[in-house]
Amino acid sequence: MFYNSWNKLCKKPFGAVCCEEEIEFNFYAKNTTNAVFIVFTLDDKTFKKQMAPVSNNSNDNLKVYTIKYTAPTEPGLLWYYFELNEGNKVYYYGNNEEALGGEGSIYYHAPKEYQLTIYKKNINTPSWLKNGIIYQIIVDRFFNGNENTEVVNTDSSLFFLRNWDENPQYVRDEQGNVIKYDFYGGNLKGIIKKLAYLKSLGVSIIYLNPIFQAFSNHKYDTADYKKIDPMYGDEDTFELLCREAENLGIYIILDGVFNHTGSNSVYFNKNGTYAKLGAYQSKESVFFNWYSFFTYPHYYKSWWGIETMPTINKDNKDYCSFIMEGNDSVIHHWMNCGAKGWRLDVVDELPDEFVGRLKEQIKIHDPNSILIGEVWEDASNKISYGKRRKYLLGDELDSVMNYPYRKTLISYVTGQFTASKCLSHLLNLFENYPKEYSYSMMNLIGSHDVPRILTALEESSLVEPKASSISLDRLKMITLFQMTFPGVPSIYYGDEAGLEGLGDPYNRGTYPWGKENKEILCWYKKIVSIRNNNKALRTGEWIPIYEDKYVLSYIRSIKNNKDSFGDECENGQFILLFNNDMEREHTVSIPIPKEELLSKYYVDMLTGINIELISGKLVITVPSLQGILLKNIE
């Protein structure tokens, strides 16, 4: 018996489907099989349908059992497996042990189920997002644009200034609590002054970590949602940044921290810093019902038990109105100033209703705006607090931070995953996500919450010179993958300059102006430019064509002058090959499907070497720890 959810002979169409779309399932079983059923589970209700046997001209020993099924009218997840009757025996065929989709396994009991994502009709994500390059910035660590590099010190009791080239480090008490934060003086003026650099890098979207007034250096403890932190600048400076950026074709995305505030904030006011009565100070405060107290006022609900970050009641109507309703709400206020969208911090903590309303409001303000969520797992089937989330069904997010993608690529280039395993994990995400979202994923390999990518790729068991060489090879390979894969590549500031560092705070060092690793920076500029100048690498079809233990290959292609979303554009095709073997090169022979080929002649965009396919077959040697980027020659 056989079924493979990625094979068009077994299931059409591939992957997620929209509501009321017809799906064809074909299951292959021995001629001695009496009956085959497909068993569905939807909203905790299970039902099964018998599949009809049809002739199989390709294999006399296997019979094909088929059924056409119309997807439900409402978005959700449909789970399925197969039940076979053979004589007096019952067998089951379901998803494989890793539940990654593709070829399944035989079971003698209830099997692991396949997932089928059913999404809302007519969803779409903005074209500028799908075609973009994101650059993430912690403002304090990027550049100081003030004259004489002056720094505005708002509270010396929580503040000390480091020299720009010093390593970050917290000052903690004996219990490990941070008692002083270090600052470097980066600000919004600094970003304005470096916009030309970001444009030269090929960036089209800037995602800013929190910029609102707060007392930490990370700014996730918001003190005032309506005020830019004075260290960073003011509202006029932010508006100028948005205007100047947009003049260069760059949009600004803000970090929305709506699950919690700072304890030292206008709203909670634990330290009595503000004149307005806070929730901590009095039950008569207009903000009191925003928070949950166990024993008033000292014991309250907070994010991960961190007392400086009291959690908000997201069901509170006054709070929801403050954040998103009306022209002067937080969302609309900053979008009026020029923000093009939001990234939602810890979106798992925000109810579906809150996220849905927020998306509705930003789309009312600007239908072409975007909403990105911080999700660390597969966002299509994420369960948070016992509830299945609806992030990618059409009414909530436009994109998520693609941490599973990062984990998969790092595992492959460091040799923890074979090429086959890497491809299975990528196909699993590609199968579970609707196409609109697959092409708008925030495909990151670095962020403020994980070690720097160059550090993550180091080979610690080797001596330092060799380790540096291997890390650099791996970095080039993983970034080539990132820039040629569907989705939106995201660059964490300084990664393109060779910054290193383990977890927080060492991954939050300053940009090394004048001390960049020139080789890495030139490499980034080269591959970003190749992506930006070739639509096939942005919205072309993604077609895996080969994988073994070490080598992985796929095609990015636009044929018939239309991309994956039906937009008119020039034809173009790329063949990508990667080899994660640390020890040796590998020569591969790959037959390219005739229907996929645009040409028999290709050029390696990285070396300039011309390649000719013989009888539709690509025979090529892939060097150790390197990638190859072939482009068709008309």
2 secondary structure, DSSP code: B
Best CA proximity match to 184, nearest among 152, 221, 157? 152
Locate 218 and state its tokens. 């990370």
Q: Taking phi first (over 0 means left), then psi (-120 to 50 degrees means alpha), and beta for anything else, what does residue 485 get?
A: beta
Does 132-532 match 538-632 in CATH topology? Answer: no
Given 345, 349, 473, 496, which residue is catalytic?
Answer: 345
Can you give the pLDDT at residue 465? 41
Query: Coil, strand or helix: which one is 23?
Result: strand
**What confidence tens digit (pLDDT) does each residue in 567-616 have?**
999 999 999 999 999 999 999 999 998 888 899 999 999 999 999 999 99
Query: Coil, strand or helix: which one is 399?
Result: strand
Locate 386 and state its tokens. 């016992």
- Answer whether CATH 3.40.718.10 is correct for domain 538-632: no
Locate 500 and state its tokens. 């290193």
Can you give the pLDDT at residue 448? 98
Separation between Cα atoms, residue 298 and residue 291, nearest integer Å: 12
Can you give the pLDDT at residue 231? 94
- CB-CB neighbours of 223 under 10 Å: 24
Query: Do residues 369 and 362 touch, judged by C-beta distance below 8 A?
Result: yes
Can you give the pLDDT at residue 464? 45
Separation between Cα atoms, residue 196 and residue 584, nearest integer Å: 41
**306 contacts: CB under 8 Å, gap ≥ 6:** none
Distances (CA, A) of 499 to 15, 409, 447, 483, 517: 38, 19, 12, 19, 8
CA triple 392-342-373, angle to 5 deg? 35
Separation between Cα atoms, residue 217 and residue 606, nearest integer Å: 40
Best CA proximity match to 340, nearest among 511, 126, 84? 126
Query: Do residues 10 and 56 touch, judged by C-beta distance below 8 A?
Result: no
Locate 396 and state its tokens. 């909530």
**What confidence tens digit (pLDDT) does each residue in 410-451 have?**
999 999 999 999 999 999 999 999 999 999 999 999 999 999
| E strand or H helix at 471 | helix 464-483
Q: Which residues pair with 25 in a beta bridge?
A: 11, 67
The gap between the terminal CA atoms of the chain, to the nearest Å, is 44
Query: Do residues 142 and 191 touch, judged by C-beta distance below 8 A?
Result: yes
What backbone phi and psi angles, to 5 degrees, belong to 237? -65, -40
Distances (CA, A) of 553 to 191, 452, 494, 548, 590: 38, 26, 29, 9, 9
Radius of gyration for the alpha carbons in the chain, expressed in angstroms and rounded: 26
CATH number of 11-119: 2.60.40.10
Locate 551 and state its tokens. 């080598």
**What confidence tens digit (pLDDT) does each residue in 19-66 have?**
999 999 999 998 878 899 999 999 989 999 999 999 776 666 789 999
Separation between Cα atoms, residue 632 and residue 536, nearest integer Å: 11
Can you give the pLDDT at residue 156? 58
Query: Do residues 517 and 497 touch, judged by C-beta distance below 8 A?
Result: yes
Distances (CA, A) of 197 to 83, 164, 201, 360: 59, 19, 6, 34
401 secondary structure, DSSP code: B
Can you give the pLDDT at residue 459? 67
Residues 140-177, buried b or exposed e (16+ Cβ, 10 A)? bbbbbbeeeeebeeeeeebbeeeebeeebeeeeeeeee
345 is known as an active-site residue: yes
Segments in the chain below pLDDT 70: 57-60, 153-158, 459-467
What backbone phi and psi angles, to 5 degrees, belong to 207? -100, 115
What backbone phi and psi angles, to 5 degrees, belong to 142? -100, -60
251 secondary structure, DSSP code: E
Domain ranges of the chain: 11-119, 132-532, 538-632
Domain 132-532: CATH superfamily is: Glycosidases (3.20.20.80)
97 is known as an active-site residue: no
Axis crossing angle, helix 464-483 with helix 403-413, rounded to the nearest 10: 130
